[in-house]
A and B are shown apart, each in its own frame.
Chain A
Amino acid sequence: MAVIREDLQTQEIELNMGPQHPSTHGVYRALLTLDGEKVVKVENIIGYLHRGIEKLAEDRTYTQVIPYTDRLDYLAGMLNNLGYVQTVEKLMGIEVPERAEYLRIIMAELSRLASHMVMVASMALDLSGWTAWFPPFRERERILDLFEMTCGSRLTVSYMRIGGVAADIPPGFLPALEAFLNDLPQMIAEVNHLITGNEIFQARCRGVGKIDLETALAYGITGPNLRACGLPFDLRKARPYGIYDRFEFDIPTLNNGDSYDRFVIRLLEMEQSARIIRQAVAGLPEGPVMAKVPRVIKPPRGEVYHQIEGAKGILGFYLVSDGSNKPYRLHIHSPSFVNLGALPKIAAGGNIQDFVVNIASIDIVLGEVDR
């Protein structure tokens, strides 16, 4: 028979998770207050990767800022490039050649695919689904090969330019892209068979880290995480930038707002990205890939805010120009930073094991959080 000792007391303890922890997806530290296995309070401690990109930008020319944007969300470099160059183009009123617009769409959507693949793979891995790590990373490798073919770089691409793109695609690009798109449904099916329908995976994710739509909006959550709460809000449709208004695609939504839905929504969005790429390839016109822009980029005095639908949510660039060849101020509104800000709200009250699931399902990239 168990003996109950009245003189023993329980108390809350504090536990540091990270910054060197495999489940934190980078140098992120959480200070957890625990009551037994229950998470009472979460404090985010970030800044380990703060490189001062906003400050650095003030001392670089407009073109020199482009490589820094690769290093924000380094899993979706093309999207960051796109957001930045479109901001400068908006302020200067530059028209981009048609072919460049289409190439930008292809690259941006490939980047989104690559980013979602990393999310899907690493979330499975965080839940000990080792096998499911391989199909997404196998296919992502082919996306990176396509990037390498085009611009020589796989991750830090710096492919977009103010007024177009750096280079036209090489001859082997379209066949390789076609083959990749043909194989994509199989990869999604593999993940679905291995993980999405897996009983253990569902038991770990369903109902974990639930957030309702109203709270999500109040906390500024955007992107797939918002759409997993049931709101079909996507800037590509709601406020189209570039030539997104020419393509037909759906905005998948799910209704539970839990970790499981945040996982599944990425798989659904992959299919839509593939649809957009196919249309862009079909409509790809011939012609130049760079507009005629001045050798020295000097936007007029003024300010502009431009937002795109990044892989993790709304990515915004606020640019103030004083008429010189360097930005007076460049603020980067990063989706990971804001989404991570909601993590204490999402994770409080859950189990400590679920905390790992919550981090993985929100899909943060610390390069973008810390900038």
Chain B
Amino acid sequence: MTMLIEEIQDHFPGVQIEQGVDMPVMVVPADRLLAVMEELKEKQGFNFLSGLTAVDYKDEDRIEMVYHLLAVPAAKMVRVKVNLNRQEPEVPSLTAIWPAAEVQEREVFDLMGVIFQGHPDLKRILCPDDFTGHPLRKDFQLNAGEGRE
């Protein structure tokens, strides 16, 4: 795993890597995401997108994209993160690399409000089309309160 960390750091100076509790974690700038993912898939053998989600860190004013990649069949894992501006969360879509991202990115768009640039059909998937707001944001109002029905 140290090999992987060194190689990525050589190729992509802007990427921070550390060893997490369960797997290596990389924090990648949004504009380098596709290049890093291509490298991980083609050169490092992480050929399987095994999870795609986002976390709202409201107090830090950021939304964090979290990608989990799995090497099949070696079963090694790596976590890739991208920090996004909470007001205008935008990140390149991975659909061109993994079609599996298509539904998962739609889910993140629906529930967290992240815009995926280059996604072929970015629309709500779990909530109704006329739903307003993004439920997994921390400031989403759960109870029907003032001015809401």
Contact = CB atoms under 8 A, between A and B. Distances in A.
Interface in A314-371: 314, 316, 318, 320, 328-329, 331, 333, 337-338, 340-342, 345, 370-371
Chain A binding surface SS class: mixed
Contact of B79 (A54, A305, A329, A341): A305
B49 interface: yes
B53 A90 contact: no
B79 A55 contact: no
Contacts of B50: 220, 307, 314, 316, 333
B100 A91 contact: no
Contact of A305 (B23, B47, B100): B23
Interface stretch (B6-14, B26-34, B67-75, B85-93): B67-75
B73 A47 contact: no
A44 B103 CA distance: 10
A46 B48 contact: no
Chain B binding surface SS class: loop
Contacts of B107: 337
A304 B107 CA distance: 21
B100 A219 contact: yes
B99 interface: yes
B53 A91 contact: no
Contacts of A233: 72-73
In which size bucket is the chain B interface?
35 or more
B5 interface: no
Given A218-B100, A306-B22, A345-B99, A46 B51 contact: no
B127 A318 contact: no
A217 interface: yes
Interface residues of A, number: 42
A55, A329, A340: residue with the most chain B Cβ atoms closer than 10 Å: A329
Contacts of B22: 90, 304-306
A341 B85 CA distance: 28
Contacts of B126: 46-47, 50, 370-371
Nearest to B47: A217
A333 B99 contact: no
Given A219-B99, A233-B73, A320 B55 contact: yes
Contacts of A337: 103-104, 107
A345 B100 CA distance: 11
Given A47-B126, A54-B136, A307-B50, A218 B23 contact: no
Contacts of A44: 103
A370 to B, nearest CB: 6
Contacts of A50: 126-127
B125 A46 contact: yes
Contacts of B68: 305, 316, 318, 333
A237 to B, nearest CB: 9
28 contacts: A44-B103, A47-B127, A50-B126, A55-B136, A59-B142, A90-B21, A91-B21, A218-B98, A219-B98, A220-B50, A231-B72, A232-B73, A233-B72, A238-B74, A238-B75, A303-B20, A303-B21, A305-B22, A305-B77, A306-B22, A328-B55, A329-B55, A329-B136, A331-B53, A333-B68, A337-B107, A345-B99, A371-B126
Interface of A: 44, 46-47, 50, 52, 54-55, 59, 90-91, 217-220, 231-233, 235, 238-239, 302-307, 314, 316, 318, 320, 328-329, 331, 333, 337-338, 340-342, 345, 370-371
